[in-house]
Amino acid sequence: RVTQKDFDEALREVEPSAMREVLIEVPMTTWDDVGGLEDVRQEIREAVEWPLTHPDKFRKMGIHPPKGILLYGPPGTGKTLVAKAVARETAANFISIRGPQLLSKWVGESERAMREVFKKARQVAPCIIFFDEIDAIAPVRGGDTNRAVERMVNQLLTELDGLETLEDVMIIGATNRPDIIDPALLRTGRFDRMVLLEAPAKKGRMEIFRIHTKEMPLSEDVDFEELTEVTDGYTGADIESVCRETVMLALREDINAKGVEMRHFRDALKKVHPSLAENIMDYYERIKDQFKGGKPKEEKSYIGYR
């Protein structure tokens, strides 16, 4: 007897024929794999999941749902992870585009590639298009901006505002440099929501440690409370590196090790340091104030981020 579970398994294996020329994946990441983002999780669900899972509610209320959401924040805070979790929860097709891969030295090819991405997304809707490093293809126009990149920005704006409606297609952009994105993209009707992903607080770090050690054989002396206390300023990616280094140290000591001990974590922390520059979150908070309409404070810039 064929059950719904069998159909669900088949859907994971068989991809839509329209997607064969575009990189497509069925993310296995769920919200259970995302730790430390309680503050923004609901906001992301409202902006991305609701329009795809409850479009009738928006029509009933007489409004158009958001078209896109911009995730910004320092590297390693889970922007890509969040995009995959949302795609999984909505059962939507997922097209992942790393900004620079659309750029071509041939005139017109970059714009054609952008048109093709949106065309495929419309064909296989519901679909989420995820632009990683979107600042590479949508920087502020004018000045020293490459003409090919300017044409790419114009094409992206055309797709977002075009006559062909983006029915059941959601756009997610991710960037570490929101200040260099063309302002035209950040108005209502394009990227309607801007969400800051920060370095996790203590509770979030605890969740992330538990996520990355759930399959790890741990000694009874492993103290998560101590680990979260000494990892202030670590991002989710940093904590993952700590856990990986911990296992490597245990195996280096004894390739037949039965598990890891607290001393292995302490040694790993001596090797893996937080990747965020000091006070870098001040920079992102300043950007957040600008998005909200607040007056940005004049502060020192940070090399590599401004």
pLDDT digits (tens, 9 = 90+) for 213-249: 999 999 999 999 999 999 998 999 999 999 999 999 9
How far is residue 294 CA from its own chain's centroid? Answer: 25
Query: Are 168 and 94 found together in one domain?
Result: yes
User: Residue 235: what pLDDT?
Assistant: 92
Residues 6+ apart with CB under 8 A from 303: none
Exposed, middle or buried, 287 (CB in 10 Å: 0-12/13-18/19+)? buried
Query: Are 223 and 162 found together in one domain?
Result: no
Query: Are 39 and 96 found together in one domain?
Result: yes
Confirm whether 172 is domain-assigned: yes
pLDDT tens for 143-176 read 666 777 888 888 888 888 875 667 788 899 999 9
User: Residue 18: what pLDDT?
Assistant: 40
Strands 93-98, 24-25: pairing kind: antiparallel
Euclidean distance between the first and the last CA atom of the chain, given in angstroms as a whole number: 60
Residue 12's CATH number: 3.40.50.300
pLDDT category of residue 71 using cuts at 50, 70 and 90: very high
For helices 147-161 and 109-123, angle between their N-to-C axes, nearest 10 degrees: 20
Q: Which of residues 196, 221, 249 is at a domain's end? A: 196
Which structural domain range is residue 220 located in? 202-271
With residue 60 as reference, give the H or E element that holds it: helix 55-61
pLDDT at residue 301 tops 80 = no
Query: Are 115 and 221 found together in one domain?
Result: no
Confirm whether 15 is domain-assigned: yes
pLDDT at residue 83 tops 60 = yes
User: Nearest-CA neighbor of 276 among 103, 125, 76?
Assistant: 76
pLDDT category of residue 306 using cuts at 50, 70 and 90: very low
How far is residue 157 CA from its own chain's centroid? Answer: 21
Confirm whether 151 is domain-assigned: yes
pLDDT at residue 262 tops 90 = yes
CA angle 35, 36, 40 (to 5 degrees): 110
How far is residue 178 CA from its own chain's centroid? Answer: 14
Are 199 and 239 within 8 A, CB to CB? Answer: no
Query: Are 75 and 151 found together in one domain?
Result: yes
Query: Are 113 and 233 found together in one domain?
Result: no
**What tokens appear for 50 in the block?**
């609701």
Query: Are 15 and 101 found together in one domain?
Result: yes
